[in-house]
Chain A
Amino acid sequence: MMFVVSAVAILLTMGMAIARGLRGPTVYDRALAVNMFGTATVLLIAVLGFLTGRPDFLDLALVYALLSFIGTIAILKFVSYGDLASTREPDPEEDWTW
């Protein structure tokens, strides 16, 4: 029962993260949405493992956590430099509202 409630709560969180990624309005809302969605996927995989009585996929959830971290780093690097290979320092005065 506890796992069912947590699965429903995680699915609700996923829906709200999608809504935030859709509406924006700033780039940080969207970066946070995809990061939170990655975390929710990790949790959902873990909860589903226990829900079906086979928690063998827990290590897969760990790998997901690492992957979603890489994605977030790439997005934030792109946002602050405008380029993935740039070596210049970020300009704190720049406004990123797209």
Chain B
Amino acid sequence: MTEFVDVALLALLAVTGLALLKLRNLFAVVILSGIYSLLSAGLFVTMDAPDVAFTESAVGLGVSTVLMLGALALVGHEEKKPTRPRVLPLAVVILTGAILLYGMADVPPFGDPNNPIHQHVTPRYLEEMPEEIEVPNVVSAVLASYRSYDTMGETTVIFAAGVGVLLLLAGRRRRGQDEEEPGE
């Protein structure tokens, strides 16, 4: 049954992708790319990756829909017809697809317990974790202790990004107020 759901979702994904290519109404393109993102999130869920699915829908459906609508407000909602057929982009796309398919040949099979990722450090984490770190949750132990430097770097990056956005927004608001004051 999950295979059937996979096939159906992939078929809908293909239909949506082709429709995105054909459509000239950019508002419909934004809507359909939101649907595309929901479809891929559904596929991630069927592959037991709910965290990836969550990120996909937060970024693809939430943030990028809002950003693209903001862009539409600036550029208008009708795409111009291309004046001549573009061969180079098509060639680049086909070449990239071929390289990706070639790369897929070396990827270990999906869900196989003998895959390298399940053999390298994961068994050691699971065996030694209760003695080394007295944290009941394996994920927390890995994130906060075994990979603590990595986690610290990630939180630093997110913190810096948040501070940057807040500074930009605050600076813009203050400048806006300064411009209004002389008029009043």
| A and B bind | yes
Query: A residues near B, CB below 8 A?
Result: 4, 7, 11, 14-15, 17-18, 21-22, 24, 27, 30-31, 33-34, 37-38, 41, 44-45, 48, 51-52, 57, 60, 63-64, 67-68, 70-71, 74-75, 78, 82-84, 98
Q: Is the CB of B5 within 8 A of A70?
A: no
| Cα(A82)–Cα(B77), bound, Å | 11
Q: How far is the CA of A98 from the CA of B72 in the complex (A)?
A: 13
Interchain CB contact under 8 A, A71 and B62: yes
Q: Of A30, A33, A75, A98, which one neighbours B69 at CB under 8 angstroms?
A: A75
* Residues on B with beta carbons closer than 8 Å to the beta carbon of A48: 2, 5, 45-46
Least CB distance from A75 to B in Å reads 7
Contact between chains at A70 and B62 (CB < 8 Å): yes
Q: Residues on B close to A: CB < 8 A?
A: 1-2, 5, 8-9, 12, 15-16, 19, 23, 25, 27-28, 30-32, 34-35, 38-39, 41-42, 45-46, 50, 53-54, 57-58, 61-62, 65-66, 69-70, 72-73, 77-78
In the assembly, what is the distance between CA of A63 and CA of B61, in Å? 12
Q: Cβ of A74 and Cβ of B66 under 8 Å apart?
A: yes
Cα distance A45–B28 when bound, in Å? 25
A37 & B50 in contact (Cβ 8 Å cutoff): no
Q: Is the CB of A18 within 8 A of B5?
A: no
CB closest chain-B residue, reference A56: B50
From the candidates A27, A33, A45, A71, name the one contacting B65 in the complex (CB within 8 A). Answer: A71
A83 near B25 with CB under 8 A, answer no
Contacting pair B12 A74 (CB below 8 A): no
Q: Using CB atoms, name the residue of chain B closest to A42.
A: B38
| Minimum C-beta distance from A79 to chain B (A) | 8
Q: Could you tell me if B35 and A37 are in contact, using CB atoms closer than 8 angstroms?
A: yes
Known: A14-B12, A57-B50. A74 touches B73 (CB 8 A): no
Name the B residues within 8 Å of A63 (CB-CB).
Answer: 54
User: Within 8 Å CB of A22, what residues of B?
Assistant: 19, 23, 28, 32
Given A48-B2, A75-B31, A68 and B50 contact (CB-CB distance below 8 Å):
no
A47 CA / B163 CA spacing, docked (Å): 40
Tell me whether A38 and B77 are in contact in the complex, defined as CB-CB below 8 angstroms, given that A30-B31, A57-B45, A60-B45 are known contacts.
no
B35, A18: Cβ atoms closer than 8 Å: yes
B26: shortest Cβ distance to chain A, in Å? Answer: 9
Please pick, from B23, B28, B39, B61, the residue contacting A67 in the complex, using a CB distance under 8 A: B61
Q: Given that A7-B5, A14-B12, A84-B73 are contacting pairs, would A74 and B65 also be in contact in the complex, using a CB cutoff of 8 Å? A: yes
Instruction: Kindly name the residue among B16, B31, B39, B42 whose own CB sees the greatest number of chain A CB atoms within 10 A.
Output: B31
